[in-house]
Structure 1
Amino acid sequence: MKIAFIINDHATESPNYTTPALGFAAYKRDHEVYFIGVGELAYASDGHLSARCKTIKGKNFKTQETFFKAVQKEELTRITSEELDVLFLRNDPSDEIGERDWAQNAAFIFGEIATRDNVIVLNHPSSLAGAVNKMYFQHFPEILRPKTIITRDQKEIKDFFAEQKQKMILKPLQGSGGKNVFMMDKQNEHNLSQTIDAICRDGYVIAQEYLPKAKDGDTRLFLMNGVPLKSKDGKYAMMQRVNASGDIRSNIHAGGMPQKVKMTDQIMELAEIVRPKLVQDGMFLVGIDIVGDKLMEINVFSPGGLNVMGEMYETDFATVVIESIEKKVHYNKTYEDYLFNSRLATL
């Protein structure tokens, strides 16, 4: 199959990220693999998606790092949606805030065009358009979520702070990777107004109940086709992300340390509750972040850590993902135009 991955930019995509791992897994299975920066997308006069991309063929690589570094050195070539079987949207819109605002929604807009050529687009582009900020999380059952308000009103946030007994989390509605996440308590209450103002510069503020178990970090679990991702040797794609000393953030990019963690009935129950909506929305591969018995976040754009988990458990999760995509391509060709992209995405 011909599979293209949309990334933010070739220069900023690290060879040890999850997307190069997925690309390398596909490459090893003799698929044609392409990487497209958001700024390289275009709409052609004949009505098809067109893109400049980087690809490599006919060489052997021992690691994903050597594979992707070689890809990065390649000259740009061009591909169209008429040629592709799969377009995997793996860019992070939050990385573009304040830098390239035009790039935040480009991938799913152009992804919609690709579906017209019967290209399988993952995750489903229409659903991604509705999930471009953390408001998407609020559409899941309330029993999953910490108590939350989303507002730009200082008084509402301060009233919520009092209601939460002077302890809460503040973060922007748009963002990822632990950027601009603050814990407010009695000790730093004097900075509350200033902190709210700083977050408000980029939009709405999320004020969220503080969960005491957050001090132990969180659990990142990958879901594929709505269920926990499992390797062929029976290991789950999950890890405990332990906070760096004195930091409330457990994201790996924010200094959190990954550790092995065991699947529990409680985590399986949380995964089962989120499954119906993820399947309905065509969310093929997502990362959910869990603290205690609550879901803290659902990352539907470019969840990371799959390669870290693979190394930690000495197993191969990326190939399982590619094998699932291969089945979707088979279904798509077998049924021709009878299956919608949103359904194919989670079959």
Structure 2
Amino acid sequence: MNICFLMYPWEEIDPENDTSLALIHECIRRGHGVGLCTPANLTIRNSVTNAFCTVLNRMEKIPVNLKTFYKQVKLREEMLPLAGFDVIFMRGNPPLDPIMLNFLDSVKDDVFIVNSIQGLREANNKLYTAAFGDSHSNIIPATHVSKNKNYLIKQIRESEADKMILKPLNGFGGSGVILIEKSAMSNIKSLLDFYITNSDGSSNYVILQDYIEGADKGDIRILLLNGEPIGAMRRIPGTEDHRSNVSAGGTIAKHTLSKEEKALCKQIGPKLVNDGLYFVGIDVIGGKLVEVNVMSPGGITYMNKVYKTKLQKQVIDFVESRVLDKLQAFDRRSRLRSEVDNA
């Protein structure tokens, strides 16, 4: 099997904690061919979508340690057709590049893509979370999304809570997430100006959410594979930052899913799978769904450390099974078509 990881550059990988590297390592360990490319390396040659790929050479002895593997693996550069891969694993950081998806549209019927193109289009920003909330559901905190500063200020003033969370619509890794308090209303307008208005006159959407009690103690990252939870961890904020993201100084601890969290996963799992979102990370606070991460959900390496497991094996098992199903369906169709042709 040949797998293309469409992601950030090899040089930007954190060899100790990178989920993408754990997945790549597992693929190499199983003997699969692996190539990497960034969105900027996609190209069309003679009407065929190609990529300038960084290809990992096969290794006779594969180091068990990720950091050692990262240092020892040999790379080469090749231009390769994307339709020649069995799998394209989407691992790019937000924001989503719509041009990249346009390139991939030409191969989406030939290659199994994790996560699907249509799913990424629908779920690449924080608006997707709102799809799980309605008048009969209470799994997301009260959420407002707008560019209208007066409207947002009104919502803050009318909120029964003393605190709310403000974040950019296209942020990731905890970037730009701030805690605002009614006692500091004099600063709110300048904050909204900073978040919404760009220097060129354009504007950005921001998200305003009710603060969930207990958020100061951290959140729960849950990884879902094909709609089912495969791992979870508690992320605890550092002493100098309210964000619980590890990239923002947070720490991690073991976590056993509560009955409420299991019910949440069961409720949203079918929609994720239906949208082609097979490998997803969700963030939960107090039983409320805060974010759905579909582009490059992380956490595998951290969960592996605290639970002494290897979650990447489950992910690649799933990918292999889907590719096998696709190949068997193709073989069956070819065989049946041959019968008809020879009748």
Q: What TM-score comes out, normalization by structure 1 length? A: 0.88
User: Are 1:267 and 2:269 matched, yes or no?
Assistant: no
User: Are 1:63 and 2:65 matched, yes or no?
Assistant: yes
1:78-127 per-position Cα deviation (integer Å, ceiling 9, x unaligned) = 22123210000110123xxxxxxxx72344333322224x1111100122
| Correspondence for 1:205 | 206
Q: CA deviation at 1:246?
A: 4.2
| Correspondence for 1:308 | 302
Task: Mark the CA change 1:123 to 1:271 in structure 2 (over 3 Å): closer, same or farther.
Answer: same
Please point out which of 96, 103, 106 is paired with 1:110.
Answer: 103
Alpha-carbon separation, structure 2, partners of 1:40 and 1:337 = 32
Alpha-carbon separation, structure 2, partners of 1:294 and 1:253 = 22
Output aligned runs, 1:47-196, within 5 Å.
Answer: 47-60=48-61, 61-71=63-73, 74-94=75-95, 104-116=97-109, 118-142=110-134, 143-165=138-160, 166-196=162-192
What amino acid is aligned across from residue 118 of structure 2 in structure 1? S
Query: In structure 1, the residue corresponding to 2:224 is in which secondary structure?
Result: strand
Query: In structure 2, the residue corresponding to 1:93 is in which secondary structure?
Result: coil
What amino acid is aligned across from residue 105 of structure 1 in structure 2? P
User: Are 1:215 and 2:216 matched, yes or no?
Assistant: yes
Query: Does the 8 Å contact 1:111/1:121 carry over to 2?
Result: no
Query: Does the 8 Å contact 2:280/2:292 carry over to 1?
Result: yes
Alpha-carbon separation, structure 2, partners of 1:179 and 1:25 = 30
Query: Does the 8 Å contact 2:156/2:182 carry over to 1?
Result: no
The two structures, once aligned, show a CA RMSD in angstroms of: 1.9
Alpha-carbon separation, structure 1, partners of 2:64 and 2:273 = 35
| Correspondence for 1:5 | 5
Task: Mark the CA change 1:193 to 1:78 in structure 2 (over 3 Å): closer, same or farther.
Answer: same
Query: In structure 2, the residue corresponding to 1:157 is in which secondary structure?
Result: helix
Query: In structure 1, the residue corresponding to 2:12 is in which secondary structure?
Result: coil
Q: CA deviation at 1:197?
A: 1.1
User: Are 1:29 and 2:30 matched, yes or no?
Assistant: yes
Identify unmatched segments of 5+ residues in structure 1. Answer: 95-102, 230-236, 340-347
Task: Mark the CA change 1:337 to 1:182 in structure 2 (over 3 Å): closer, same or farther.
Answer: farther
Query: In structure 2, the residue corresponding to 1:136 is in which secondary structure?
Result: helix
Query: In structure 2, the residue corresponding to 1:195 is in which secondary structure?
Result: helix
Q: CA deviation at 1:53?
A: 2.3
Task: Mark the CA change 1:51 to 1:140 in structure 2 (over 3 Å): closer, same or farther.
Answer: farther
Alpha-carbon separation, structure 2, partners of 1:194 and 1:59 = 59
The percent of aligned pairs where both chains have the same amino acid is 31
Number of matched pairs: 322
Q: CA deviation at 1:36?
A: 1.3
Query: Does the 8 Å contact 2:27/2:34 carry over to 1?
Result: yes
Alpha-carbon separation, structure 2, partners of 1:193 and 1:43 = 46
Task: Mark the CA change 1:172 to 1:20 in structure 2 (over 3 Å): closer, same or farther.
Answer: same
Q: CA deviation at 1:141?
A: 2.8
Query: In structure 2, the residue corresponding to 1:259 is in which secondary structure?
Result: strand
Task: Mark the CA change 1:15 to 1:107 in structure 2 (over 3 Å): closer, same or farther.
Answer: farther
Q: What TM-score comes out, normalization by structure 2 length? A: 0.89
Q: CA deviation at 1:5?
A: 0.7
Rg bigger for which structure?
A: 2
Query: In structure 2, the residue corresponding to 1:76 is in which secondary structure?
Result: strand
Output aligned runs, 1:334-345, within 5 Å.
Answer: 334-336=328-330
What amino acid is aligned across from residue 182 of structure 2 in structure 1? K
Query: In structure 2, the residue corresponding to 1:115 is in which secondary structure?
Result: coil
User: Are 1:330 and 2:331 matched, yes or no?
Assistant: no
What amino acid is aligned across from residue 222 of structure 1 in structure 2? L
Alpha-carbon separation, structure 1, partners of 2:28 and 2:147 = 46
Output aligned runs, 1:15-26, within 5 Å.
Answer: 15-16=15-16, 17-26=18-27
Query: In structure 2, the residue corresponding to 1:114 is in which secondary structure?
Result: coil
Alpha-carbon separation, structure 1, partners of 2:66 and 2:102 = 29
Identify unmatched segments of 5+ residues in structure 2. Answer: 334-343
Which deviates further from its counterpart, 281-290 or 74-83?
A: 74-83
Query: Does the 8 Å contact 2:168/2:206 carry over to 1?
Result: yes
Q: CA deviation at 1:265?
A: 1.0
